[in-house]
Structure 1
Amino acid sequence: MTALKEFQRLEAAGVWRATPADQRKDVIVSLGDASLTILDLRENVLAHWSIAAVARANKGQRPAIYHPDGDPGETLELDDNGVEMIDAIEQLRTAIDRTRPKPGKLRLWITGALGAAVIAGIVFWLPDALLRHTVQVVPAVKRAEIGDALLSRITRISGQACMTRDAREPLRRLSSRVLGPGQRGALVVLPAGVRTTAHLPGGRILLNKALVEDPEEPDVTAGYILTERLRALTQDPLEEMLIETGLWSSLRLLTTGELRDTDLERYSEYLLSKEPMPLSDDVVLAAFETAELRSTPYAYAVDITGETTLPLIEADPMTGRDPRPVLSDADWLRLQGICGE
């Protein structure tokens, strides 16, 4: 990474767009520490891109258009006023391409890329620093790809995800109602495997079919979905995965953008066996209030006596109020048949 030193603190003006549907914004682009930082004109951070995962859409043309590898919808344009930045990015991309590991030569790659720094730092600061940096720079499209790979392995154990034609839209409406309109495809119902709920990198939430088939009202299912999302927000799902799979998993993901099949298998098995992370009652109640959901049905589903979930019953934020329905009766009945006979 010595090639980075001459470009540290390099800045340029550019134009950034998060998605094709968003407006283009004038931004400041800062290069350093193997990543591009994109800030608005008030110096609020809008995005971090790893140089190793930056692709160019129009080689040799101006303005130069860059995007995260695999996500051409998010773009950064640099015109002739940013020639120095463009040259720096191209030099670094070329240098990184030359040092990418070749299949079957992991030992040679470690020696050439990190050398003595890995040997000296591995005992002291490298694991935690590498983990934090990897979690920060991995783009959303790669997180979703990792989540899909994990789901593929989980369904080998649990069976294929449940879905019927009649239940497809009710499931999407439930996801939108609890998690927000941008999360319509976040829910996956499994016939077995997961105890109650689990979450994956990329935003997917897994539900055991019993949480859909057994409750008399959708508020129970909504409560389980909401609390699982809180767990995903409490600790980054990708961070949790990399902690479980170890240092080399973080290093491989950062430098190659890939994970070993053995790491994916190991973590998918861990997800299906781990105990759910406990959440404080105050955090749970605040989330139910924001989502306009009753906490009492969920509390009794967790503990039929209500003894261990009494705070969620007594402080139900919707008591005396008329919350929005989770689903219509017709949608709930269709959703309860999602796994068929």
Structure 2
Amino acid sequence: MTALSEYQRLESTGIWREAPEAQRREVIVAFGDATLVISDPRSARALAHWSLPALTRLNPGTEPALYAPSPDADEELEIEDPAMIGAVEKVREALVARRPHPGRLRLWVVAGLSTATVALALFWLPGALIAHTASVAQPAQRSEVGGMVLAELATLTGAPCESAPARRVLDALSARLVPESRIVLVPTALHGVLALPGQMLVLGMPLVQRQDGPEAAAGHLLAAADAAALNDPLLLALRWAGLRAAFRLLATGALPATALAGYGQGLLTEPAAAPDKAEMAARLLDAGVDPSAYLKSLDDGEPFAIAAPPPQALMSDDDWVTLQGACMR
């Protein structure tokens, strides 16, 4: 112990009292092996050994210095010698610095746990609550949110084209390709298909009008349905709406009226994920649809060889013409 060895030969006089009622007596104070030794000045007999790590200063900053072997001890030692006082204080400081600090460790543990809790609340909990809300939403709630998203889209694409002849053709197309979904046709701005909550597939008229038949639209419808199976459209919408809106849906069953403001613009501008051509070609062939038109509509410049298409028509020419004219006023 460097601080102690430096003062091994240092000693001074002091005034020692063994108990509160005992008489004060002059003693010799010296450093021992991790102790403060109090001795009789005439006989040199040790009267007490005080543990240096337990040594307590009773009057910090005041001289003569008063010490006790522990905070609740009855013994008391008074030292006037500045050199001895300085030595005792230096050794005490060195010992305190080396002593374990369970309170400090506890403080760090509590601080770490608090930080982890705050991080959990800020970063994990919102996402977990939104995901939970999407997972427990009822079909009616999904359809309601889908209607809200469609209303947002309609401010940019125009209102859905819902004439009776067009509705008949769309329902027949849905029954053939995506039986669990409802296809909605919008007049402008959307050049492909978007999947909305409530198993709704929104088909853009630009895609219909620039094709000679329904095969390309069929591919985009299947691709959007597959994407929705992997990434829940309701979860995506709730992430946009935010934690408060998701909690409102969980607690009351409805979103705030303005929760999805601007979401339609985001859907129209976000690039669609690149489909797996081989997988989509196989899906279309299994559905009895020639994949050539769909693959060509992707227009990514990459050639793709396909098997000979089966001779099955998705709809009649008259139905296709009906669909192409569905949004004309």
1:50-199 to 2 correspondence within 5 Å?
121-180=120-179, 182-183=180-181, 186-199=182-195
Q: Deviations over 1:246-302 (max 9, x none)?
A: 222322221222222332113222122211122223432343243232221111122
3-state SS, counterpart of residue 338 of structure 1: coil
Contact 2:190 2:206 in 1 (8 A): no
Contact 2:219 2:280 in 1 (8 A): no
Q: Deviations over 1:116-152 (max 9, x none)?
A: xx96742253123212211211011110011112212
Q: What are the ranges of 5 or more consecutive residues in structure 1 without an aligned counterpart? A: 1-117
Q: 1:288 aligns with which of 284, 287, 310?
A: 284
Q: 1:208 aligns with which of 201, 204, 209?
A: 204
Q: 1:188 to 1:285 in 2, by over 3 A?
A: same
Q: TM-score, normalised by structure 2?
A: 0.59
State percent identity of aligned pairs. 31
1:289 & 1:267 partners in 2: Cα distance? 34
Instruction: Provide the aligned length of Structure 1 versus Structure 2.
Output: 214
3-state SS, counterpart of residue 273 of structure 2: coil
Which position in structure 1 is the counterpart of 2:244? 248
Q: Deviations over 1:76-127 (max 9, x none)?
A: xxxxxxxxxxxxxxxxxxxxxxxxxxxxxxxxxxxxxxxxxx9674225312
3-state SS, counterpart of residue 194 of structure 2: strand
Contact 1:245 1:266 in 2 (8 A): no
Which position in structure 2 is the counterpart of 1:227? 223
2:186 & 2:281 partners in 1: Cα distance? 27
Q: What are the ranges of 5 or more consecutive residues in structure 2 without an aligned counterpart? A: 1-116
Contact 1:191 1:209 in 2 (8 A): yes
1:144 & 1:263 partners in 2: Cα distance? 15
Q: Deviations over 1:220-259 (max 9, x none)?
A: 2211211121221220101111222322232222122222
1:286 & 1:170 partners in 2: Cα distance? 24
* Structure index of larger Rg: 2
Q: Deviations over 1:297-318 (max 9, x none)?
A: 1111221xx732x23xx1x3xx
AA in 1 matched with 2:301:
E
User: Is 1:278 aligned to 2:292, yes or no?
Assistant: no
3-state SS, counterpart of residue 261 of structure 2: helix
AA in 2 matched with 1:338:
A
Contact 2:277 2:295 in 1 (8 A): no
Q: 1:168 to 1:258 in 2, by over 3 A?
A: closer
Q: 1:321 to 1:219 in 2, by over 3 A?
A: closer
Contact 1:242 1:249 in 2 (8 A): yes
Contact 1:253 1:259 in 2 (8 A): yes
CA RMSD of aligned residues (A): 2.4
AA in 2 matched with 1:154:
L
Q: 1:165 to 1:123 in 2, by over 3 A?
A: closer
Which position in structure 2 is the counterpart of 1:320? 308
- 1:190 deviation in Å? 1.0
3-state SS, counterpart of residue 149 of structure 1: helix
Q: TM-score, normalised by structure 1?
A: 0.57
Which position in structure 1 is the counterpart of 2:293? 297
User: Is 1:257 aligned to 2:290, yes or no?
Assistant: no
Q: 1:246 to 1:170 in 2, by over 3 A?
A: same
Which position in structure 2 is the counterpart of 1:236? 232
Q: 2:263 aligns with which of 264, 267, 272?
A: 267
2:309 & 2:190 partners in 1: Cα distance? 34
- 1:216 deviation in Å? 0.6
Q: 1:253 to 1:288 in 2, by over 3 A?
A: same
Q: 1:119 to 1:253 in 2, by over 3 A?
A: farther
Higher deviation after alignment, 229-238 or 186-195: 186-195
